[in-house]
Amino acid sequence: MKALVLREIGGRLALETVPDPAPTPSEVVLKVHANAPDQLDVTISTGRIPGAKLPLIPGHEIAGEIVALGAGVTGWKVGDRVTVYTYLTCGACRYCIAGRETLCRNLKGYVGVQSDGGCAEYTAVPARNLVRIPDNVGWVDASTIPNAIATPLRAIKGRAGVKAGDDVVIVGACGGIGIHGVQIAKQCGARVIAVDIDDARLAEAKTLGADLVVNGAKEDFSQAVRDFTGGKGAEAVMEFVAMEATMGRSYASLATGGILVFVGAQPGNAFAPDPVSLVMQEFTVTGSRHVNRAELAEAADWLGQGRVKPIVSGTWTLAEGQKALDAVAQNRVLGRAPILPWSRTRRAHRGAAPSTLSAMRGGEGGERSEPG
Ligand SMILES: [Zn+2]
């Protein structure tokens, strides 16, 4: 089969012919129809992810069709359309049992990092990691499920507990995850304040439901939040950026009793809330680490039900894999731009200026040391 292979840290992805994968008893083989590269793939190629296998076929945001089943696989059949849960968990520790699978104490790594992933015509993945794609969702759109939709859905609905009537700030609203987060917060019944630094993309966030857009490069967004909420502040602030320029303002945007959720995080960017304010106003500051499998299935449902519009700015052929990665690294992708291993033509790409907050932090989706 044809696959994109990374042979050395800092190297480029090369299109190679490699042996077709065969399933172990607990795996299935997928025909990969779409795989969306994200910042994690860029980070792997630059070597900032410890323990990546080499040579590696990257790719962890996969939409594909089962073409072969391992001897021990039950519950799935050839032809089933699926996406793939990225974390290679043990399934037995107390965190796995509790559904907090990203906190697995025996984590074996990630699809597309410690095992070969979706930048190929076929890939073998654990059957336990499969989640069904709704029948009415096409392959290209399905590539937004595993991260671009699932990650903000869990963070906003699950971790922040956003409900109707809340004011919610999305910091980094125009990155691949934030642009879906705007829609999800709106669907939860919130008033949504979208913060980024690119006016053209902020205009798109407005069409997707943002009630207020704020260019954080031109004004202090915490003040804009105060003004918009009559001095109250926001019940939830979602930090998809986590830069020094944003974290203090995110905290300052909170309403009394509000919650600040970090989804993006960057090593070295420290943030220390004042304990007096934590006590006196009972703020919550927490993080959200990707999703569990149930939340991945919920994200697929949301897309199938039309509750969130998948934002896809173009597609790539397999031969263009390195270009696809470069586009992510340079923040030229709005939403997702998947590689289609079986396509011979690319779909035109909507231009996106590499000038957002997301670009300042090194690419949309956040600087990631892990999936999600
Ligand atoms: Zn576990």
Domain map of the chain by residue range? 2-143+312-360, 152-287
Provide CATH code, domain 152-287: 3.40.50.720
Confidence at 365, pLDDT banded by 50, 70, 90? very low
Q: Calculate how far, in angstroms, residue 109's C-alpha sits from the geometric centre of ligand 1.
A: 11
Confidence at 312, pLDDT banded by 50, 70, 90? very high
Q: What tokens were used for 19?
A: 């042996």
Provide CATH code, domain 2-143+312-360: 3.90.180.10
Residue of 65, 68, 55 lying closest to 16 (CA atoms) = 55
Q: Calculate how far, in angstroms, residue 247's C-alpha sits from the geometric centre of ligand 1.
A: 31
Q: Which residues of 70-94 are buried (b: 16+ CB within 10 A; e: fewer)?
A: beebeeeeeebbbbbbbbbbeeebe
Q: Calculate how far, in angstroms, residue 323's C-alpha sits from the geometric centre of ligand 1.
A: 36
Q: Calculate how far, in angstroms, residue 111's C-alpha sits from the geometric centre of ligand 1.
A: 16
Q: Calculate how far, in angstroms, residue 213's C-alpha sits from the geometric centre of ligand 1.
A: 40
pLDDT at position 10 over 90:
no
pLDDT, tens only, 103-133? 999 999 999 999 999 999 999 999 999 999 9
Confidence at 346, pLDDT banded by 50, 70, 90? confident
Residue of 305, 297, 248 lying closest to 99 (CA atoms) = 297
Least confident of 81-85, 204-208, 247-251, 362-366: 362-366
Q: Calculate how far, in angstroms, residue 335's C-alpha sits from the geometric centre of ligand 1.
A: 31
pLDDT at 344: 82
Fold agreement (2-143+312-360, 152-287): no
Integer-rounded Cα radius of gyration of the chain: 20
- Compute the average pLDDT of residues 348-357: 51
Q: Calculate how far, in angstroms, residue 293's C-alpha sits from the geometric centre of ligand 1.
A: 13
- The predicted model scores a pTM of 0.93
Q: Calculate how far, in angstroms, residue 290's C-alpha sits from the geometric centre of ligand 1.
A: 15
Q: Calculate how far, in angstroms, residue 102's C-alpha sits from the geometric centre of ligand 1.
A: 8
